[in-house]
Each structure stands twice: as C-alpha cells, then as structure tokens.
Amino acid sequence: MGDGGNALGLNRVTLNVMGEDYIVTGNDTVEYIENIGRYLNEKIEEINKATGGGKLSKVQLAILAALQVADEYYKLRQEHEELLQLIKEAK
C-alpha cells in the first residue's frame, strides 16, 4: 500500500510479506514497488504449496524464494548479455 512520497521525491510503500509489514522506499513508482511485493509473495506461496504447505519456516521460504528470484535474474542477465553480443556481431 502506497504511503506517498517524501521531500526527496522517494516513494514510501508498506509491503506485507508473509504477514509482516516492511516499509520500502525508492525512486520507483508505488505501483512498481507494490508489484515487486506481490511477485515475491507469489513466489513464496508457490514454494509453500510445492513443499506441502506449512512444513517450512518463514526463513526457509524466504531463502528459497530468494534463490528462485536470483536464478531468474541470473538467467535473464545471461540472455541479455548474449543478445547484446549478437547485436554487436550483427553490426
């Protein structure tokens, strides 16, 4: 839920992740920050369901979600580098 901006032009958003509220401040739009929070909660819920629901602690769920997101990021970064190389070679 967006809490608005501050004097520095930063947006301040309260995200609820696994039942805990976290205040996130950044240059991105409130909508973007909220979408990141929803995405993280979706990842956590996917993991929770895949592991039988309620069998893992919050910390374990958070670490597994972080590993999944890091894996996605790393693969996308590799794809990006490969595409940049293809563009460079095509010139």
Give the pLDDT means over successive 10-residue stretches in the chain (91 positions).
Answer: 67 96 97 97 97 95 98 98 96 86
Query: pLDDT at position 8, please?
Result: 74
Query: pLDDT at position 78, please?
Result: 98
Distance CA 73, CA 89 (A): 24
Domain boundaries, given as residue ranges, for the chain: 2-90
Contact present, 2 and 11 (Cβ < 8 Å): yes
- Encode 26-54 in three state secondary structure: ECCCHHHHHHHHHHHHHHHHHHHHHCCCC
Other Cβ atoms closer than 10 A to 44:
20
pTM reported for the whole predicted model: 0.82
Query: pLDDT at position 5, please?
Result: 58
Query: pLDDT at position 9, please?
Result: 82
Looking from the CA of 91 toward its CB, the CA atoms found within 13 Å total: 5
Distance CA 43, CA 39 (A): 6
